[in-house]
């Protein structure tokens, strides 16, 4: 049950010493209640407060840390909708391998997973995990493949087997990878919980019904094991959409702890289009780990782009460094364009300049990651601020051309910019970056 700020305040020392960064214990208690601060910030919190608040201050969806150094974080979510605040840890994407796959498929998949790198708006995106599924009768083949995947890909694994003995052997073989053992059932949970503890792995648990799964996760928690993933048994994409949403809502709105864990789902419909639909459902509707049946570069890039769109913090736009960027091989007399340092804007504008076939300079002043019109409305992209930036970076020494092309949406700053930069001419470019190519051909060549 969540505690109110006033209930939390009664557990704090009431000295108002401010060491936690809040002016009073009450203000700190309010932050704790809103889950905007952690109790560890108060050095004087009593053991009783830690005990009582520990559970209450945990995120409603537990954050499970995977991989060597626990770098891959899954869960820890605080809101149902991204616009309420932000989503915290994106859905981890994994690629599956079966122990019955031909050796050449195994080798090429592990290489593709290891080498895959997608650059999107300045972010470098990689595949998070590899899943190993036991399909054959030989536990040794399963363990060998798990060891190989860990050795080659150096990523946490999802180990899936119906045989607890095989799972235990593989768990031991990949000790240090902090992987997920999948999928203990009510019958095998006790033995596999011990294996997971001994080898420092998490568990993905499942049961025939949602009630059964709730009982299972509650039971694990009672025994002090909390690194849990939930595998929902659903018969259709519609049911999965509903169950994922129901579980997240129960965890966030009703503080129902047994469903307050990230989920894990194997996409394996047998049809690439349906696979895509299920994977999209996982990314958009609260999936913790989504295991794809094979490596497919086109599928992966689309899913990663979708994931990036959803999981970037809407309050912290992705930015590029404010500076002058060369596009192509510009010389002192090459055209000079100006735009803002919002990543998306930068990459679209630089791409369109590149497409036009002209080498140019792209001047990107500090605009706190805002797009052109937003930055202009906030006073961050004015004639004076652009001129100041151009003087600070010494552009005049770098180029002989004295002409700037500004975005068409801020045509109104051209006069001010010319006033602030005596000797320079300002050309108003197109409003849309897509029209830059024709602008370059008609006005600059
Ligand atoms: S550090 Fe602790 S005692 Fe001091 S003001 Fe903050 S909550 Fe109160």
The finding on whether 22 has its CB within 6 A of some atom of ligand 1 is: yes
Closest CA to 234 of 282, 284, 187: 282
pLDDT of residue 444: 82
The finding on whether 17 has its CB within 6 A of some atom of ligand 1 is: yes
Task: Determine the distance separating the centroid of ligand 1 and the alpha carbon of 17, expressed in angstroms.
Answer: 5
pLDDT of residue 4: 86
- Better-predicted residue by pLDDT, 53 or 324: 324
Q: What is the pLDDT of residues 250-265, one digit of tens each?
A: 999 998 999 999 999 9
User: Which domains does the chain carry?
Assistant: 5-57 (1.10.15.40), 63-311 (3.20.20.20), 323-444 (3.40.50.11600)
- Better-predicted residue by pLDDT, 245 or 187: 245
The finding on whether 27 has its CB within 6 A of some atom of ligand 1 is: no
Question: How many Å apart are CA 388 and CA 381, to the nearest integer?
Answer: 11
In ligand 1, which atom is closest to the CA atom of 23?
5
The finding on whether 346 has its CB within 6 A of some atom of ligand 1 is: no
Residue 428: half-sphere exposure toward Cβ, Cα within 13 Å? 11
The finding on whether 207 has its CB within 6 A of some atom of ligand 1 is: no
Residue 245: pLDDT above 90? yes
pLDDT of residue 123: 83
- Better-predicted residue by pLDDT, 122 or 114: 114
- 57 Cβ neighbours under 8 A, 6+ residues apart: 32, 35, 38, 39
Residue 1: pLDDT above 60? no
The finding on whether 19 has its CB within 6 A of some atom of ligand 1 is: yes
- pLDDT winner (highest mean) among 19-23, 153-157, 250-254: 153-157
Choose one of 5, 18, 19 to mutate for the ligand 1 pocket test, by most ligand atoms within 8 angstroms of C-beta.
Answer: 19
pTM beyond cutoff 0.75: yes
445 pLDDT band (50/70/90 cuts)?
A: low
- Better-predicted residue by pLDDT, 416 or 56: 416
In this prediction, residues 340-358 reach a mean pLDDT of 93
Residue 184: pLDDT above 80? no
Beta strands in 50-162 (DSSP E): 63-66, 72-75, 92-98, 118-120, 123-125, 129-133, 157-160
The finding on whether 238 has its CB within 6 A of some atom of ligand 1 is: no
Angle, CA 227 vertex, CA 223 and CA 229 arms, to 5°: 110
Question: How many Å apart are CA 77 and CA 80, to the nearest integer?
Answer: 8
Closest CA to 426 of 443, 405, 441: 405
In this prediction, residues 196-219 reach a mean pLDDT of 95
In this prediction, residues 90-114 reach a mean pLDDT of 97
The mean predicted confidence, pLDDT, of the chain is 93
Q: What is the pLDDT of residues 262-291, one digit of tens each?
A: 999 999 999 999 999 999 999 999 999 999
In this prediction, residues 423-431 reach a mean pLDDT of 96
Tokens representing residue 232 in the block = 């929902």
In this prediction, residues 315-339 reach a mean pLDDT of 92
In this prediction, residues 135-150 reach a mean pLDDT of 97
pLDDT of residue 316: 76
Q: Which protein residue's CA is at the shortest distance from atom 2 of ligand 1?
A: 42
In ligand 1, which atom is closest to the CA atom of 25?
8
């Amino acid at each position: 049950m969540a505690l109110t700020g006033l209930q939390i305040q009664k557990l704090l020392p009431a000295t108002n010493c401010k060491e936690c960064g809040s002016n009073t214990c009450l203000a700190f208690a309010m932050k704790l209640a809103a889950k905007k601060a952690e109790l560890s910030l108060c050095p004087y919190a009593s053991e009783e407060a830690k005990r009582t608040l520990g559970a209450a201050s945990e995120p409603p969806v537990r954050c499970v840390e995977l991989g060597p150094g626990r770098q891959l974080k899954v869960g820890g979510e605080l809101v149902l909708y991204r616009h309420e605040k932000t989503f915290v840890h994106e859905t981890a994407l994994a690629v599956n391998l079966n122990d019955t796959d031909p050796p050449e498929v195994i080798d090429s998949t592990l290489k593709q997973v290891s080498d895959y790198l997608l650059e999107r708006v300045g972010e470098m995106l990689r595949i998070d995990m590899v899943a190993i599924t036991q399909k054959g009768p030989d536990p040794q083949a399963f363990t060998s493949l798990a060891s190989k995947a860990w050795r080659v890909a150096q990523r946490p694994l999802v180990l899936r087997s119906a045989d607890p003995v095989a799972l235990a052997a593989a768990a031991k073989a990949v000790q240090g990878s902090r992987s997920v053992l999948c999928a203990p059932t009510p019958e095998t949970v006790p033995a596999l919980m011990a294996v997971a503890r001994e080898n420092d792995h998490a568990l993905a648990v499942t049961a025939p019904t949602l009630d059964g799964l709730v009982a299972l996760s509650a039971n694990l928690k009672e025994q002090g094991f909390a690194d849990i993933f939930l595998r929902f048994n659903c018969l259709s994409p519609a049911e999965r959409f509903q169950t994922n949403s129901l579980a997240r809502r129960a965890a966030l709105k009703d503080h129902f702890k047994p469903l307050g864990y990230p989920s894990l789902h194997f996409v394996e419909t047998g049809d690439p289009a349906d696979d895509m639909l299920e994977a999209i459902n996982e990314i958009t509707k609260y999936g913790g780990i989504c295991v794809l049946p094979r490596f497919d570069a086109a599928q992966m890039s689309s899913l990663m782009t979708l994931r990036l769109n959803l999981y970037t913090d809407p309050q912290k736009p992705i930015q590029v460094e404010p500076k002058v960027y060369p596009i192509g091989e510009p010389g002192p007399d090459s055209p000079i364009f100006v735009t803002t340092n919002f990543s998306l804007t930068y990459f679209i504008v630089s791409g369109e300049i590149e497409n036009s076939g002209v080498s140019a300079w792209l001047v990107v002043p500090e605009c706190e990651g805002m797009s052109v019109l937003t930055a202009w409305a906030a006073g961050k992209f004015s004639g004076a601020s652009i001129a100041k930036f151009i003087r600070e970076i010494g552009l005049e020494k770098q180029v002989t051309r004295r002409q700037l092309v500004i975005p068409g949406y801020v045509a109104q700053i051209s006069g001010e910019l010319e006033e602030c930069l005596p000797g320079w001419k300002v050309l108003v470019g197109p409003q849309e970056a897509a029209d830059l190519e024709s602008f370059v051909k008609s006005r600059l060549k």
